[in-house]
Structure 1
Amino acid sequence: MNANEFYITEIARPTIEASLPDGRIITGRRGAPLKDFMEVIQDQADSLIVGAIVDGNLRELTFPLKKDAEVTPLTLSDADGARIYRRSLTFLLEAAFRRCFPGAVLTIDHSVSSGGYYCQVEGVPDFSQADLDRLDTTMRDFVQQDIPFVREVVPLEDAIAYFKSVGEDDKVRLLKYRPRKDLVLYSAAGTRNYHHGYMVPSSGYLKWFALEMLNDAFILRFPRRHAPTQLSPMMHYPTLLKTFRDYGEWLKKLGIPSVGALNDAIEDGHIDEVILVSEALHEMQISEIAESIDKRKDQVSVILIAGPSSSGKTTFSKRLSIQLLARGITPFALEMDNFFVDRDKTPLD
């Protein structure tokens, strides 16, 4: 090998290459945002591109590509892409809510099965369909304006001071336990907030959503991965919704309505008290279930307990059995786990 055949280039070439999984290569300006590269192939994608995996790392579309890289586009059909979209949509909702109802409080709560988040409003008397329509119109105006979502890394103490100034005490409680000394904030339309992950570059990406009134609250609806540009039919599960609401009230009784409050309870040495009160509330609920069964004992013959793996089904059945025994009912607990056998004893077809 002749050493004279090799040399060092003093000036880096002005372009870089983004190699796609299918073998195609996009050549573009060094330092250009990932968004510019993805726009070249957007027409061939199955749905909107909202992020990418760059050399094995998740990146948002504002990320500058400064060297050749392996790039896998993420669309609304991908799990990470769907999360980016939902996260960005909640930020859009927050910005529109602050514009429409300054001083009021919006709580984005639990998810709903048909694709959406349950949202509660405080500080708007008799929140109505007209209020929701106004909020919807403002969100769509922001989408039309294609407002940039500006990302900034700020010192943690500055972020805490900001959230104190706007009355977001839950975030202050949470962030004071953060080990890192900085925080990523996003800004748009006069709203500044912290979210757990990446965002789309601007509001113009967020075209698919709906707001639906539900009692004195509303649902922020968004597409699901299997149909990324369509909203699934809204399904109502009043019993499940009541369970979530009861759980929220339970947390308020315990004094831990947020993760930050839970951290405070641990830090202050009150966690044992929280656990004991939680157990008492749980036992009270089990007693109420047993009482309901006792009232219908002539009609009830089988009680089914369902839940995911390791969720406490067996323990719950034993605690319920004790409450039933206290009411003179002798149950027979049948644990389905006992029907599993070792692999070498599994019958084969």
Structure 2
Amino acid sequence: CFLLAIAAKRVFPDRRLVISHSLGEGYYYYFAALQNIKDEDLKALEDCMRDLIRNDYPIDRREISYADALSHFEKTNQEDTALLLRQRNESRVHVYVCGGFIDLAHGPLAPGTGSVCCFEFKNLEQGFLLRYPAQGEPGKLRPYEDLPNLTAIYKEYKAWGKILGVNAVGRLNDIIARKKIIDFIRVAEALHNKKIASIADSILEIRDRVKVVLIAGPSSSGKTTFTKKLTIHLQVVGFNPIAVSLDDYFLPRERTPLDENGGLDFEALEALDVELINRHLLELFEGREVLIPDFDFKTGRQADGGKPLRMGERNILLIEGIHGLNDGLTPLIPGHLKYKIYVSALTQLNLDDHNRIATTDNRLLRRMVRDYNFRGYSALDTLARWPSVRRGENRNIFPFQNNANAAFNTALDYELAVLKVYAEPLLKTVKPFHEQYNEAVRLLSFLNNFSPVPANLVPRQSILREFIGDSGFKY
């Protein structure tokens, strides 16, 4: 990112480069006020970047005065960076310097421009992708994979950002400072509800064939609240939805597979009684009554009996779980009977012109706050578990996201300003002698960019309430 910013300033000094979002192993960029970029422009950027790599110019981290930093970013047309600085009051500002190029320091960088091993550009609609190697695979690029659902989410969410007038943290902070955040929250929540209503309408259009809606997404995406809100909108259009929990279809504990560390792997598809799930679904679709099992987590097996269930004419099943998009969960169910929804929290906010907000950070902070509020886990516990959670997502969720019929982005542009109030004191409990200390410090530094928003402004039916509490829904 830093290397591209240098190249863009050298090759196109009058253009404003803006980072947008991650997409697979890459970042999507565009030039402000420029509809499309030419292939020869990307070639010029690539040539400049390769020259920077060959010369291995030093990248220095420095402190400069607040006034000098603000003046520089205003003069160099870095609007979002300057706006972010205006809401801060440190007398000294950390920046990275390479030649005559200066950018805000948000995290560690390599010591020189020669550290980059390989990259490539891909021209896309209204912008371009800077592709890089996957983690753990230095020196090579994976084949490009189109991700239409993610692309559609970001395109729609960017349009929402234009409606809301916010694309970066500095602009959000400005709204908070001008005491306009209540109206901003109302519009953000209304856009969520409008999108959920449109998904319900899409399901209504194929009501003659669809029998089950499968909802999946990574950790802390807000799947549970999304499912509850979708239930309401499906009722509005005439359905009588029935929620079925995959948790009740776990195999007995002695048949649960083990993970790489020898622990019970409840996230593996093989931990579920797939045969029973499919048999029950087929019987329900035929109008027969089944006994939905009740899994007892204390004994590690299904309790005796079960809950009787029969589908009527207006019923539709809603199944939420990490394997919902994987056809291995429902191999006996014909595709035309299934409607799959991918749910994730994909923030479109940037920190500034050249630095994005990692969507994983958004979900990690959600999970940390929820773990503390409802599960009795400390911030240290959440940080320690997070790498394992991410490995499970990479194995069980992300490979199947393109199987979805629809996608919903649960991120709210104001939510990190609310989560900040909860997460900061939790992160401060992680001490220098803890292994996760550096990660806690990084997250605290990240949250320092946000002005706080009090939780009492968050509507009780908001997806954010799933994590901060006092929701209007029961879980």
Letter in 2 for 1:154: I
Letter in 1 for 2:199: I
When structure 1 is superposed on structure 2, of 311-320 and 130-139 the one drifting more is 311-320
* Secondary structure, aligned partner of 1:228: coil
Shift of 1:136: 0.4
Residue in structure 2 matching 1:314, options 224, 238, 242: 224
Aligned-partner Cα distance in 2 for 1:120–1:337: 43
For 1:93-129, what per-residue CA distance to the aligned partner results, in whole angstroms no more than 9, with x for missing partners?
Answer: 011111111111111221122x211111235564111
Match of 2:301 in 1: 347
**Native 8 Å contact 1:147 1:202 kept in 2:** yes
Match of 1:227 in 2: 137
Q: Does 1:199 align with 2:117?
A: no
Shift of 1:187: 2.1
Letter in 1 for 2:131: R
Q: In structure 2, do the counterparts of structure 1 residues 123 and 272 end up closer, same or farther at CA, with 3 Å as the change threshold? A: closer
Q: Does 1:186 align with 2:140?
A: no
Higher relative contact order (CA 8 A, sep 6+): 2
Q: Does 1:100 align with 2:24?
A: no
Shift of 1:347: 3.4
* Secondary structure, aligned partner of 1:304: strand
Letter in 2 for 1:278: A
- Provide TM-score, normalisation by structure 2: 0.51
Aligned-partner Cα distance in 2 for 1:151–1:226: 26
Aligned-partner Cα distance in 1 for 2:50–2:38: 19
Q: Point out where structure 2 has 5 or more consecutive residues left out of the alignment.
A: 251-294, 303-475
Shift of 1:175: 1.8
Match of 1:166 in 2: 76
Q: Does 1:334 align with 2:247?
A: no
Q: Superposed, which structure 2 residues align to 1:1-349 within 5 Å?
A: 90-113=1-24, 115-124=25-34, 126-336=36-246, 343-347=297-301
**Native 8 Å contact 1:97 1:135 kept in 2:** yes
**Corresponding pairs, count:** 258
Shift of 1:343: 4.4
Aligned-partner Cα distance in 2 for 1:126–1:276: 33
Aligned-partner Cα distance in 1 for 2:221–2:33: 37
Aligned-partner Cα distance in 1 for 2:11–2:18: 15
Match of 1:10 in 2: none
Q: Point out where structure 1 has 5 or more consecutive residues left out of the alignment.
A: 1-89
Match of 2:442 in 1: none
Aligned-partner Cα distance in 1 for 2:34–2:237: 47
Higher Cα radius of gyration:
1
**Native 8 Å contact 1:95 1:190 kept in 2:** no
Identical columns (%): 37
**Native 8 Å contact 1:103 1:123 kept in 2:** no
Aligned-partner Cα distance in 2 for 1:298–1:153: 65
Q: In structure 2, do the counterparts of structure 1 residues 196 and 297 end up closer, same or farther at CA, with 3 Å as the change threshold? A: same
**Native 8 Å contact 1:185 1:194 kept in 2:** yes
Shift of 1:189: 4.0
Shift of 1:137: 0.7
Aligned-partner Cα distance in 2 for 1:95–1:293: 47
Aligned-partner Cα distance in 1 for 2:248–2:79: 48
Q: In structure 2, do the counterparts of structure 1 residues 99 and 123 end up closer, same or farther at CA, with 3 Å as the change threshold? A: farther
**Native 8 Å contact 2:59 2:98 kept in 1:** yes
**Native 8 Å contact 2:34 2:126 kept in 1:** no
When structure 1 is superposed on structure 2, of 99-108 and 302-311 the one drifting more is 302-311
Shift of 1:188: 2.1
Match of 2:387 in 1: none
Aligned-partner Cα distance in 1 for 2:128–2:35: 15
Aligned-partner Cα distance in 1 for 2:220–2:98: 42
Taking only aligned residues, the RMSD between alpha carbons, in angstroms, comes to 2.1
Letter in 2 for 1:346: G
Letter in 1 for 2:29: C
* Secondary structure, aligned partner of 1:303: strand
**Native 8 Å contact 2:96 2:103 kept in 1:** yes
**Native 8 Å contact 1:128 1:216 kept in 2:** no
Aligned-partner Cα distance in 2 for 1:187–1:262: 27
Shift of 1:133: 0.9
